[in-house]
Amino acid sequence: MKTDTIFYRLFQSFPSIFFELINHSPTEAQAYQFASVEVKQLAFRIDGVFLPTTTTAQSPIYFVEVQFQRDYQFYSRFFSEIFLYLNKNQISNDWRGVVIY
């Protein structure tokens, strides 16, 4: 989340805000840890990922992107990042992609 440090810091400090944005209970944040991850193959960087903690291992993973300007290739890049991450990490959880405009 190099260019989106405000959102990174916000989600890092107050993860419950993310769950409020997607109309979920803010208490769900207690079951997740938030991080910015890099998918090395093509150096894609996902703005943020909410990964379930070990106590809620089967909860969905949330991939977060903050988008401030028009990008005609945004969706293809975003889904490429997600699928590369899932492929590299062999994760079987359900997942959600969340874009904040």
pLDDT digits (tens, 9 = 90+) for 29-88: 999 999 887 766 666 778 899 999 877 778 999 999 998 888 899 999 999 999 989 988
Predicted pLDDT of residue 1 = 43
- Using only C-alpha atoms, the chain has a radius of gyration, in whole angstroms, of 13
Q: What is the Cα–Cα distance from 5 to 27, expressed in whole angstroms? A: 24
pLDDT digits (tens, 9 = 90+) for 1-28: 455 788 888 889 999 999 999 999 999 9
For residue 10, give the H/E element and its range.
Answer: helix 5-13
94 pLDDT higher than 90: yes
User: Domains in the chain, start-ordered, CATH in brackets?
Assistant: 5-100 (3.40.1350)
CB distance 36 to 47 below 8 Å: yes
